[in-house]
Structure formats: structure tokens, C-alpha cells
Amino acid sequence: MAGKDVPVSPLAPKRQPKVPAVPGVRFATAEAGIRYKGRTDVVLVLLDDGSQAAGVFTRSKCPSAPVDWCRENLAQGKARAIVVNSGNANAFTGLKGRDSVALTAKIAAKAAGCKAEEVFIASTGVIGEPLDATKFESVLADCAKRAADGPWLDAAKAIMTTDTFPKAVSRKAKIDGHEVVIAGIAKGAGMIAPDMATMLSFVFTDAPIAAPVLQALLSKGVKGSFNAITVDSDTSTSDTLMLFSTGKARARGVPEITDPNDARLSGFKRALNALLLELSHLVCKDGEGARKFVEVRVVGAKSARSAKRVALSIANSPLVKTAVAGEDANWGRIVMAVGKAGEPADRDRLDISFGAIKVAEAGARAASYDEQAVSDYMKGEHIVVTADLGLGRGKATVWTCDLTKAYVEINGDYRS
């Protein structure tokens, strides 16, 4: 269904945010005709000299050619350009895929006036189809000439596949009393069960932060955001999340940060983590066919790691997700998901709640159970499911969406 008109998710933001410019970052979009017709499908981002880079990528054993390229180039920590295309993932394309990435980098480097090793590349779309990189020759040079510091929603739209709305957010923070800006875009709606970050996402800041520090912040920041969401339990071959710093805030008196433990980073860390969390939530809210945003909380586990595994067991269960879609508070399916997780659990200590309504306690239906009250709650768009294992202090929260007939329709004719 990619490229076809589909209704915007009812969970989409009512108003798109105004994302401010990030000094040192310019971009432009174009129609390269990679797969879609009549819409932008490529974005070129230009970064000022001296920009630093960090990234986390899929742990899939079948990564795309762009992921291999980015991993190799990330070692030097510098970036001058980013090319992102939609419509073709350039994954499972063998030597042709690697050659395509190399040619794309060469074309982009010429347009940006930098080295090919300073170009990062990401692709999203159909797996297994060769990507004709020559299509970039006619658009990237023009993009470089037109590059501007906004609007960010244009860039977010160009990287969409089955997404129904663009995803762009921003935050401001202070380092040593001086303000810096953070802005990010993301795409993702299906094949979402990250094992590092998820889908494609690019975050930019003007804070003068060294690449190793960016890497430390990003690697830690994804744990409670992009690594805590799931739409359909499938980890993509192309998952890429990158963080770039232009350092332009240095001119406003912001000191360069070279230590991840620098106390002056506290406000920036909070802002970055909040941005990553919001972006990841937008992905769940645009889950293919989604009508409900689901928050799964597990408490009372033996450990935080155990709690997260149980939470993911619940969030990834088709039976749980279809029950939510049908507005059915079927807590028996929560019991099932807890029991199959392979983690310590005690049937007779398990409590389950939907929102603030306790439906099961001490291994049986709650004495105060009210079918009408919980049925009314399930009609909402944001559903919170809490499972208290009663075994310890471990806790975790993950986010997902419901599973509707539309998900099958979208993925049943994805290549059509």
C-alpha cells in the first residue's frame, strides 16, 4: 500500500510543531522517482565543516548496504552530508547494493564539496530490489544549491513510506547557562521492534559536543525510548538512528563538551531523552492501521531486565493487541503473555489493571471488577495496561499500538 492514499492516523498530532532551524544544518528534498510518483522521496542534509556524528543501528543479521556504510564511516566521527531516500531499502541487494551506496556517496560528496567518507546514507522501503543510484545524479546537485534551514516537515515527508504523517520535534536546553537547540525527524509505521534504535531517525544539535560524548548519550538514550517501542515485533534490516552536532553554539559562548560525565550536560541529556521519547511515541501512534496507543507497564519483577521482557511479551502479543483494537479488556490475554515470557512470575501474586481500574488481583478476577467501567475505559485512544508481578522491585515501560484489519491490508499489498 506504500505510495497510496491512506487516512491519517487518528493518533496523529492535532497540529504539526514549528521546528526551529539548527545552525549549521541545511537541507532540501526532491523527487528522484525511486519508487513513488508525484512525491518527494529523497532528502540531502548538509552539515557545516567540523560537525560530529554518532549512531546506533539494527542488530539484524541481514543489515542493509547503507547500514554497513554508516557503521564503517562512523569510526571517524565526522559528517558533512546525509542522503536519505524512501521507496527502496537497498537491503538484500548483494554487491549491487554496495556499489549503489558507494555511487550515492560519490554523487553526494561532489554536491556537498566533501569526502565520500563524510557522507552518511540511509534507505527505507522495499527489501530485495536493486536501487538505481544514478537517479541521484540529477537531483543532489540541485538540492545542494537549494538547501535551506527549514522547513523540517519537508524533510520528514520525503522519508515516509507507509507513514501517514510526518514526524518532527524539537527541544531547547542550556549548557553552562547558554541555550542550544535540538531537532529531529523520524519515519516508521511498520516493521517496528527495534533492537538498538528503530526505523530511520536523524537528530541534530548546535551544541559543541564531541563524537564520543554524542555516542554515549545516544546509546543510553535509546534504551527507554526507541528500544522500548514495538508495532509488530519485526526488527528492520535498515534501522538507523543518528545524532549530529554542528558545534555552532560555540560562537555564543557554549563550551565544548568532551566528557560524557560533564555535569554541564544534565539539561541537554534531559532534553535529548525527551525528544527521543516523543519521536518514538509518534512512530507507535502511526503504527500501520493503529487506532489505539498502548502503554504497557510491568512492575514488581525480579529485575528491570525481566520486567522489560515481560512488557514486550505483552506488547507484542497479537491476541493482546487485537483485544485492544476491539476495545475488549481481556485480561486473560495479559495473563497469557506474562506466563509465556519465560521470566519469573507467580500466578497467585499477579495483579492486572487497565488504567486505574484493577481487573485482577492475587491470581484471580478482582473483587471490585466492573465490566462497564473497564469497557468505557477501553474506548479511549490511550490505553495503559499494568501488570504487577509481586516479586521484586524491577519495572519497565514499553509502548505499542493495537492491531487492526488495516495492518493486514497495508502489508498484504505492500509491493503492489
Do 25-285 and 293-412 have matching folds? no
What confidence category does residue 350 fall into, taking pLDDT thresholds of 50, 70 and 90? Answer: very high
Residue 412: band (very low, low, confident or very high) from pLDDT cuts 50, 70, 90: confident
Contact 43, 187 (CB under 8 A): no
Output DSSP code: residue 61.
S
198 is in an annotated binding site: yes
User: What is the C-alpha to C-alpha distance for residues 377 and 51, in angstroms, rounded to an integer?
Assistant: 48
Residue 411 pLDDT level (bands cut at 50, 70, 90): confident
H-helix or E-strand spanning residue 359: strand 357-361
Of residues 58, 198, 230, 246, which has the active-site annotation?
Answer: 198
Q: Which residues contact 131 (CB under 8 A, 6 or more apart)?
A: 34, 85, 88, 90, 93, 97, 100, 123
266 belongs to an annotated ligand binding site = no
What are the residues facing 230 on neighbouring strands? none
Is 205 an active-site residue? no
pLDDT value at position 371?
93
pLDDT digits (tens, 9 = 90+) for 378-402: 999 999 999 999 999 999 999 999 9
Check whether 17 has a pLDDT greater than 70.
yes
Cell (9 digits) for 336: 497469557
The model's pTM: 0.94
Domain 25-285: which topology? L-amino peptidase D-ALA esterase/amidase (3.60.70)
**Residue 161 assigned to a binding site:** yes
Residue 173 CB coordination number (10 Å) = 21
Pure H helices in 163-231: 211-221
261 is in an annotated binding site: no
Q: Annotated binding residue at 288?
A: yes
When pLDDT is averaged across residues 283-287 and rounded to a whole number, the result is 94
Provide the residue ranges of all domains of the chain, joining segments of one domain with +: 25-285, 293-412
Q: Is residue 280 within 8 Å of 237, Cβ to Cβ?
A: no
Checking if the pLDDT of 1 tops 50, the result is no
Q: How many angstroms separate the CA atoms of 139 and 40, rounded?
A: 11
Say yes or no to pLDDT of 2 above 50.
no
Instruction: State mean pLDDT over 282-293.
Output: 95
Question: Residue 96 has which C-alpha cell?
Answer: 549491487
Domain range 293-412, CATH architecture: Roll (3.10)
In this predicted model, what pLDDT tens digit does every residue of 53-102 receive, in sequence order? Answer: 999 999 899 999 999 999 999 999 999 999 999 999 999 999 999 999 99
Q: Is the pLDDT of residue 199 over 90?
A: no
The verdict on whether residue 115 carries a ligand-binding annotation is no
> What is the residue-averaged pLDDT of the chain?
95
Spatial distance between the Cα atoms of 130 and 7, rounded to a whole number of angstroms: 30
Q: What is the pairing mode between strands 200-205 and 178-187? A: antiparallel
Residue type, 292: K
Q: Is residue 4's pLDDT more than 80?
A: no
Query: 125 forms bridges with which residues in the sheet?
Result: 87
